Amino acid sequence: MRLIILGAPGAGKGTQAEYLSSRFGIPHISTGDILRENVKNQTELGKKAKEYMDKGLLVPDEIVIEIVKNRLMQDDCKNGFLLDGFPRTIAQAEALEKVLADLGQKIDKVLNIEVPDEKILERMSGRRICKSCGASFHVIYRPPKKEGICDICGGQLYQREDDKEETVKKRLEVYHAQTQPLIEYYKNKGLLVTAVGQEEIADTTKEVLKALGVE
């Protein structure tokens, strides 16, 4: 199975991607991970990407596409793959189609995990992390016994910058602006399937499998 997974930050996309990867025995390819890997291994493409990343700029499409292409040509992708974080734009989607056509492949389905913005805002802005041991709590769903104190090690809990309400709102705005055209693009191609994210991870997984037609 060759899949693309879409979902806003905090929609639980990563968790479902890991599950599908092990269920179908296909690699979960996160563009962020393979970019960092190329930079770390100082590949030619990694060096080029690093120049942009060091300046806080987005890595240009042609570099990202080349890195993704190299990854898709590896042996473990022969029976399929799951792409996470790519494509982000229609231009990238068209380039991916061309890459796959050259490899004699095509995308089977594009899974969109849908969670209302207010739910994501509640999930992410309520998250608290322990400064000492890194344990994760939530002010509503998993509150610590004592406010601001970690149950596990007694460390101080804090809210990460990217979990702050304003930051989450901005990330959601960017996501919708970027991804809405992509959702329409794949819908028009008849590839889009949608799963509505639930409170419980297992319930979301059921929705995902139903959407993919593999209950």
Q: Is residue 163 part of a domain?
A: no
pLDDT at 88: 87
The whole-angstrom separation of Cα 71 and Cα 10 is 26
What are the helix (H) ranges across the chain?
13-24, 31-40, 44-54, 61-72, 90-102, 117-125, 165-188, 201-212
3-state secondary structure of 95: helix
Q: Is residue 111 part of a domain?
A: yes
The whole-angstrom separation of Cα 176 and Cα 44 is 33
Annotated binding residue at 71? no
The whole-angstrom separation of Cα 131 and Cα 155 is 6
pLDDT at 147: 94
Q: Is residue 53 part of a domain?
A: yes
Confirm if 71 and 30 have CB atoms less than 8 A apart. no
Q: Quick one: residue 79, left, alpha or beta (phi over 0 = left, psi -120 to 50 = alpha)?
A: alpha
Number of structural domains the chain divides into: 1
Q: What CATH number is given to the structural domain containing 9?
A: 3.40.50.300
**What DSSP string runs through 168-215?**
HHHHHHHHHHHHHHHHHHHHHTT-EEEEE--SSHHHHHHHHHHHHT--
Domain range for 35: 2-115+180-212
3-state secondary structure of 122: helix
Q: Is residue 35 part of a domain?
A: yes
Annotated binding residue at 77? no
Q: Is residue 144 part of a domain?
A: no
Annotated binding residue at 128? no
Q: Is residue 166 part of a domain?
A: no
Give the residue numbers annotated as catalytic, written as ranges.
13, 88, 127, 160, 171
pLDDT at 199: 84
Return the structure tokens found at 184: 């329409």
How confident is the chain (215 residues) per 10-residue block, as mean pLDDT? 92 91 94 88 91 83 92 93 92 94 94 95 94 94 95 96 90 88 96 93 94 88
**What is the maximum span of the chain, computed from C-alpha positions, in angstroms?**
58
Q: Is residue 83 part of a domain?
A: yes
Annotated binding residue at 24? no
Q: Is residue 91 part of a domain?
A: yes
pLDDT at 9: 85
Question: How far apart, in Å, are the Cα atoms of 178 and each of 44, 53, 58, 90, 184?
Answer: 28, 20, 14, 9, 11
Annotated binding residue at 153? yes
pLDDT at 36: 87
The whole-angstrom separation of Cα 215 and Cα 212 is 8
Annotated binding residue at 137? yes
